[in-house]
Copies of this chain bind each other. A is one copy, B any other.
Amino acid sequence: MQKLTVELGDRSYPIYIGAGLLKRTDLLPDFIKGKSVITVSNETVAPLYAETLNKSLEGFKASSVELPDGEVYKTLTVLDQIFTGMLENHCDRQTTLVALGGGVVGDMGGFAAASYQRGINFIQVPTTLLSMVDSSVGGKTGVNHPLGKNMIGAFHQPQCVVIDTETLDTLSDRELSAGIAEVLKYGFINDLKFLEWLEENMSLLLARDPEALAYAIYISCKHKAATVAADEREAGQRALLNLGHTFGHAIETGMGYGNWLHGEGVAAGTVMAAELSMKMGWISEADLSYVKHLFTLAKLPIEPPSELTADDYRLHMMRDKKTKDGVMNLILMHKLGECIQTSDYDAQAFQEVLERV
């Protein structure tokens, strides 16, 4: 088992990474302060792992809420189902919520914990690669709105993150690839060496080699933890983690939640960001080609959907959380392996990227 710490003063918390951690009944109880626990999971994950998890919760008053599975259910309406379950089971301010599942379960469980009785403790137990390397760490929680992804939410840090790499065995190939998009992201932002490692080891990752996966998760979480510790509320460098996300969210929202997986939108979106970066003269054609090559190796899309027009992108991107007083900020590649946040890009080049499809 490996351990990382997200350093946030008195709100610091550990990330545990290892094979079979869900079976270890000594891990979770230390992070449960009160006498009761409620597990939030979904119809796909609960049948696979809830029973194992529950063995760690013996001695607590335990209850559970099971959500439908999919990004399309990451809504205020489904969030309300969590609150109903919590109230019916008499959860109080001392209850700890355990989010067992992928990014949707983690984001919604976290936001439910942030909002229930104005805030209770929670624990992240991510079961998809994407949630292990990104969404379960850092306290961003929330739900989507029909007009924009992740528009409603809260910063609310968990008590701990428990990553059992064995849960990846039941993940679909498509979901596994989607998670790799966020892993590659850390390389593009500021870790060229990691990018080279990923290129060399991509076939091992896709074959679910336990050691390769554990290493990729560890390095990703290390980057994420350092970024969150330096800039919890995204006043600056944390925004870099949104590489590919502004374009990607527009794809996800424009195509209807769940039709493109988040990681797929991020992949195509990162290629769009790289194209704009090339047009700005910041990266070379060879660099752009390398970006596409890596996503292709990971079996991820490098072309945005043909259904969306430039106006569709603009509409959704103007609602991006990085937009300030009407000015759209983008995360672009200043060079390969080094990203920046900027509003100082050529409007014509931007338009060309949006119109290319």
Which A residues form the contact surface with B (CB < 8 A)? Answer: 34-36, 76-77, 79-80, 83-84, 87-88, 90, 92-94, 114-119, 140, 142, 145-148, 151-155, 318-319, 321, 323-326
Q: Is the CB of B87 within 8 A of A319?
A: yes
A212 CB to nearest B CB, Å: 34
What are the residues of chain B within 8 A of A147 when measuring CB–CB?
A: 84, 87-88
Number of chain copies forming the complex: 2
Cα–Cα, bound, A124→B116 (Å): 23
Give chain A's interface secondary structure class. mixed
A107 CB to nearest B CB, Å: 11
Cα–Cα, bound, A79→B143 (Å): 13
Q: Is the CB of A153 within 8 A of B115?
A: yes
- Given contacts A87-B151, A118-B153, A118-B321, 18 further A-B pairs with CB under 8 A are A36-B325, A76-B83, A83-B145, A84-B145, A84-B146, A84-B147, A87-B145, A87-B319, A88-B147, A90-B318, A92-B323, A94-B324, A94-B325, A115-B152, A115-B153, A115-B154, A118-B140, A154-B154
A126 CB to nearest B CB, Å: 20
What are the residues of chain B within 8 A of A90 when measuring CB–CB?
A: 318-319, 323, 326
Cα–Cα, bound, A212→B31 (Å): 52
What are the residues of chain B within 8 A of A148 when measuring CB–CB?
A: 87
A304 CB to nearest B CB, Å: 22
Q: Is the CB of A151 within 8 A of B116?
A: yes
Give 10 closest A-B pairs by Cβ, nearest first: A87-B147, A35-B325, A117-B321, A92-B323, A118-B153, A115-B152, A76-B80, A94-B325, A76-B76, A83-B145
Q: Is the CB of A324 within 8 A of B92?
A: yes
What are 10 inter-chain pairs, A to B, with CB distance below 8 A?
A87-B145, A87-B148, A90-B319, A92-B319, A92-B326, A94-B324, A115-B153, A117-B153, A118-B321, A119-B154
What are the residues of chain B within 8 A of A325 when measuring CB–CB?
A: 34-36, 92, 94
A77 CB to nearest B CB, Å: 8
A71 CB to nearest B CB, Å: 18
With contacts A92-B324, A92-B325 known, is A155 near B119, CB below 8 A? yes
